[in-house]
Structure 1
């Protein structure tokens, strides 16, 4: 269950990372509210997952899920560049996440 909670925490990290773009420096109410709530939920879920998972596994996976999701949404929503180096870099993050999961004792 802690792994599912960790992935959900990572998805909320994506929500606040992308949300920051829409807050316009926290000058827009609804995007700012969503971003702040996503931050709180993300950190809280990460802390719940870390009750069971080691910090050296949970934190990098949380960051990795957030990074991958943010890059994908940047491409899809904001028209950011897609090129071979970016795709290979995302693949390397995925390999790292899988490696951490496989090597974890929890």
Structure 2
């Protein structure tokens, strides 16, 4: 269950990064809606990270933070490509894949 909480928390991390990106492109009421979205996403993300590191099947702090951050980073890069028209290159995708492989590796070696 803790791994599920951590994955969802990482997805909310992507949400708060996207919200910040959209807020920078917005003004007026739309800006405030993106900032509210940021606040909600960052709060949920941190709470889920906190919950994943506690309880009966706690994920070690170092592993939890690394996986949480990597999920957010991968999601943000993909969102940047799709939503913000950021560049796509072989090396960018190559290193994104190495990050994903590292996330899976951390999960495997952290299992009890």
Q: Would you say same fold, with TM above 0.5?
A: yes
The TM-score with structure 2 as length reference comes to 0.90
The TM-score with structure 1 as length reference comes to 0.95
Structure 1 distance, partners of 2:42, 2:26, is: 13
Alpha-carbon shift at residue 25 of structure 1 (Å): 8.7
Uncovered stretches (5+) of structure 1, i.e. residues with no partner: none
- For residues 32-87 of structure 1, the C-alpha deviation after alignment (integer angstroms, 9 at most, x for no partner) is 00001100000000000011110111000000000000000000011110000100
- 1:40 aligned to 33, 38, 43, which one? 43
Which secondary structure state, in structure 2, belongs to the residue aligned with residue 80 of structure 1? coil
Q: How does 1:1-106 map to 2 (within 5 A)?
A: 1-24=1-24, 28-51=31-54, 52-106=58-112
RMSD (CA atoms): 1.5
Alpha-carbon shift at residue 23 of structure 1 (Å): 1.6
State the number of aligned residues: 106
Structure 1 distance, partners of 2:87, 2:26, is: 26
Uncovered stretches (5+) of structure 2, i.e. residues with no partner: none
Larger radius of gyration: 2
Structure 1 distance, partners of 2:10, 2:109, is: 19
The ranges of structure 1 where at least 4 consecutive aligned residues each deviate by more than 6 angstroms after the TM superposition are none
